[in-house]
Chain A
């Protein structure tokens, strides 16, 4: 799933400064699952904005809505009536949803209320870990199902660097938290599977053109296109 975190409230205030009619638009898919931008979170943010405006003695009309998915045109149709009432939309969807809103409702000012951060999964309750870099050329088949592109701090493809210690990466997370060394995990998994030979093979340089280094990507499924 795509994960996102809400922007700091002050940043949201700065983005919306000068506007007195704002619709907060949640998305009921990925960002709802990660407890960031679903209908409930949209309702909370709208309420916070109203309270802040009241405390500051400002006029503000602010409501919330939510699309089942902000990243598909048909679901945006379902919230179009509500959107029509507001000149400014504060979207709590991922970057895809925000752009879809901006394109669909071209006469509106669409602003982001969240920072989209990764393709991850909940490791435990309320903890999400990055799992995929959408690199366009999956290597999981030779790395024991563990992605070195995003789970190794240096995206190494030929084994652990010299900074792997007791299963931990030399790099720590933004809050000083320990990061598991992806290559220790890959090493252990491939050995357990009896596939150590994969650790000895030299993996050639990656074709990053299949990632976003090749420019914005487009996928066409010819067989699924209407003729």
Chain B
């Protein structure tokens, strides 16, 4: 049996490497010091997703730090994807955090530019943006693969992560979107989670470009899904959330149902249909379900989409990590 060299050895990496259809979720930490919120969400998602993204002050609102939350999530049975934005920290702070995250046993990171500070609850703060997301990816790759800090200094024990990124196929300029993904691949991204998809034809068009560039063979693509909780949310996302493309027929379909439970059921049904349709697209390696403050809907959606049971053990048992380190998560 040939030995596999893992980038991080994370469950997510092993599932993606085995060619299994991956499912990731998302969990927003609370705006308080109540860590039990994360623990509860993690326990709710465990067994239904392979890993859960932990957001990093999403929408520029202060919450429990993604590193601490990722640690709590892993303590409660689900592997974390720690999101890292460039908005709040410079390269010193980010590298320090990433060493800390590795020391805590976190094995997946997601590199983001970050929502602009003006959208959040501290619009008077100084936005950092010392790096952009592509530079962040490269920095993490160099730390992992070259054992070098961004300044070039060497380190003895490198942080080993599966490096993720995001891409929004619905933003402009559309023709540049695939090139931006290519830049992220070249910078060192291992997987990408897309912006939530409602406009499937446009996503398919983007995937055609992705395949034409051969990028689907170089990066694992997880298609973004957001279950719609009600017509109000659909309208809000359509009109007020930057970078979202929600076709009117989606809004109408949910709005046609009665408010409350019937609209929620329709939203979940829509998510399931969407997952099944996206899974058929060549090059889609999984889905990333972002149920914003509606994590309890995820188990039902994953089940209805026929994606359970999740692989309970890493599928590639014969593989070994290239370096057993003493910093593995043990609790």
Which residues of chain A have a CB within 8 Å of any CB of chain B? 153-167, 170-172, 181, 184, 187-188, 199-200, 202-206, 208
Contact = CB atoms under 8 A, between A and B. Distances in A.
Contact of A205 (B127, B150, B183): B150
Given A170-B116, A205-B139, A159 B176 contact: yes
A184 B180 CA distance: 13
B243 A158 contact: no
Given A158-B135, A160-B172, A170-B242, A153 B116 contact: yes
* Chain B residues touching A, range: 35 or more
Given A171-B116, A199-B176, A205-B135, A158 B171 contact: no
B116 A165 contact: no
B81 interface: no
Which of A153, A156, A206 lies at the interface centre, i.e. has the most chain B CB atoms within 10 A of its CB? A156
Nearest to B134: A158
B113 A165 contact: no
Interface string B13-55: 0000000000000000000000000000000000000000000
A39 to B, nearest CB: 34
B183 A165 contact: no
Nearest to A157: B132
A166 B172 contact: yes
Given A161-B113, A170-B242, A184-B173, A202 B91 contact: no
Interface of B: 86-87, 91, 113-114, 116, 118-119, 127, 129-135, 138-139, 150, 166-168, 171-173, 176, 179-180, 182-183, 186-187, 195, 242-243
Contacts of A153: 116, 118
A163 B172 CA distance: 8
B131 to A, nearest CB: 5
7 contacts: A161-B113, A162-B195, A163-B116, A172-B118, A200-B183, A202-B187, A205-B150
B242 A165 contact: yes
A158 B86 CA distance: 13
Contact of A159 (B116, B127, B138, B180): B180
Contact of B130 (A165, A181, A188, A205): A205
A170 B119 CA distance: 10
Contact of A154 (B129, B166, B171): B129
B176 A154 contact: no
A157 B187 CA distance: 13
A154 B129 CA distance: 6
Contact of A160 (B166, B171, B195): B171
A97 to B, nearest CB: 25
A192 to B, nearest CB: 13
Contacts of A170: 116, 242-243
B171 A165 contact: yes
A167 B116 contact: no
Interface centre among B116, B132, B134 (most CB of A within 10 A): B132
Contacts of A163: 116, 171, 242-243
B184 to A, nearest CB: 9
A171 B118 contact: yes
B127 A202 contact: no
B215 to A, nearest CB: 13
Nearest to A153: B116
A159 B167 CA distance: 12
B132 A181 contact: no
B70 to A, nearest CB: 23
Nearest to B127: A154
A158 B166 contact: no
Given A159-B183, A199-B179, A202-B187, A165 B135 contact: no
Contacts of A172: 118
B171 A162 contact: yes
A98 to B, nearest CB: 23
B213 to A, nearest CB: 11
B173 A160 contact: yes
A167 B172 CA distance: 7
A5 to B, nearest CB: 18
A159 B179 contact: yes
Contacts of A199: 176, 179
Contacts of B166: 162
B173 A164 contact: yes
B133 to A, nearest CB: 8
Nearest to A174: B118
A184 B242 contact: no
Given A156-B113, A161-B113, A184-B173, 16 more contacts: A154-B87, A157-B132, A158-B133, A159-B176, A160-B176, A162-B171, A164-B172, A165-B171, A166-B172, A170-B116, A171-B119, A187-B173, A200-B179, A203-B135, A205-B130, A205-B135
A202 B242 CA distance: 25
A184 B233 CA distance: 29
A155 B132 CA distance: 8
Nearest to B195: A162
Contact of B132 (A156, A164, A171): A156
Given A160-B176, A164-B173, A181-B172, A202 B113 contact: no
